[in-house]
Every structure is written in C-alpha cells, then in structure tokens.
C-alpha cells in the first residue's frame, strides 16, 4: 500500500459550526465531570473520609459541616458556567483564527493519504501527463507598403479633407 503526502491549508473556521460543535463537546465534558464528582464523592463518603475530617477539625476547634447535596449543586453550577464560558472562548478563538489566517494565509497541514493499487496491477490514481507541444507562433507579417500616388494625382488627394475627417 503506497502512501503519498498531501499539503492542505486551513484558511477558515466557521464560527457558527465551532459554536455548535464546541457546545456539544463542552456539555459532554461537563456531564462527565459531574458524573465523576458523584462517583468520587460516593467512594469518599463510603470510606469515611468526611467523618475523619470533621473529627480533625473539631480537635482544632473549628466547626465543619459536610453537606453532599450542597457540594453536588456547586459542582453542577460550576459545570454549567464552565461549559458556557468554554463554548464562548472556542467560538472567539475561531473568529480570531479567521482574522489571523487572513493576514498570514492559514495553517498548513501535511496529510498522508493511502493510495490503493487495483487488483489487476494497473496504476490508478496517478495522473497521466502528456507533453504539450509548444504551439508555433505565426511569423509577424510585414506591413503593407503605402500606395504610391498614380500619375496625374497629387499626394494631397489621399489625405482626408476637413469635411471627411472624424470629429473628436
């Protein structure tokens, strides 16, 4: 299997598409963060760690209360705020990229493409290049010689008169 290198230049990223894609991506990341926090908190509580922290802080004279529902609400609120802010930043990044790419020409990426050979062994996918014969340029023609005035006429007869001249 043959591989060929192809250069591609990314000149523009559509901000509306970036908004939609980044919103879906950030919502999935936020939900994953919330789910991971719930799993972590469940394991944390089952291990008895919050009770040990409460006992430690009581020996220091500090009152500490552990409220899992409050922590869960804070995690959800932070996830929503993060998803909205990250979506806005990704979209702003697409707009800034478009402005910069207009100035510098874009981002060049080298991609490797696989070229599949057909089973009968023929070379497909390659361009057949024909040599183009240079076209012959026609020889410049010489300018016709000016007419010589016939006998009995003057050279002034060939010149336009005022009545026949073209007005500008």
pLDDT in tens, the chain (168 residues): 788 899 999 999 999 999 999 999 999 999 999 999 999 999 998 998 888 888 888 888 888 788 888 999 999 999 999 999 999 999 999 999 999 999 999 999 999 988 886 666 555 555 555 555 666 666 666 666 666 666 655 555 555 555 544 444
- For the chain, the domain total comes to 1
Any domain includes 166: no
Any domain includes 95: yes
Vertex 11: Cα angle to 10 and 12 (nearest 5): 100
Contact residues for 80 (Cβ-Cβ < 8 A; gap 6+): 30
Domain range for 28 is 2-115
Any domain includes 81: yes
pTM exceeds cut of 0.75: no
Any domain includes 103: yes
- Residue 80 and residue 30 in contact, taking contact as beta carbons nearer than 8 Å: yes
List, in sequence order, every residue forming a beta bridge with 111; answer none if it has no partner.
6
């Amino acid at each position: 299997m043959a591989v060929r290198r192809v250069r591609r230049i990314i000149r523009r990223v559509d901000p509306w598409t970036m908004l939609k894609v980044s919103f879906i991506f950030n919502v999935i990341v936020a939900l994953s963060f919330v789910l991971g926090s719930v799993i972590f908190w469940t394991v944390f509580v089952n291990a008895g760690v919050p009770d040990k922290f409460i006992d430690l802080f009581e020996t220091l004279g500090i009152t500490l209360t552990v409220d899992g529902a409050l922590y869960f609400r804070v995690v959800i609120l932070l996830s929503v705020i993060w998803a909205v802010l990250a979506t806005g930043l990704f979209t702003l990044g697409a707009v800034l990229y478009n402005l910069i790419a207009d100035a510098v020409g874009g981002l060049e990426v080298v991609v490797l493409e696989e070229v599949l050979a057909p089973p009968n062994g023929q070379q497909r996918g390659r361009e057949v290049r024909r040599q183009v014969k240079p076209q012959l340029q026609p020889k410049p023609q010489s300018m016709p010689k000016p007419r010589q005035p016939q006998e009995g006429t003057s050279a002034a007869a060939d010149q336009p008169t005022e009545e026949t001249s073209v007005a500008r």
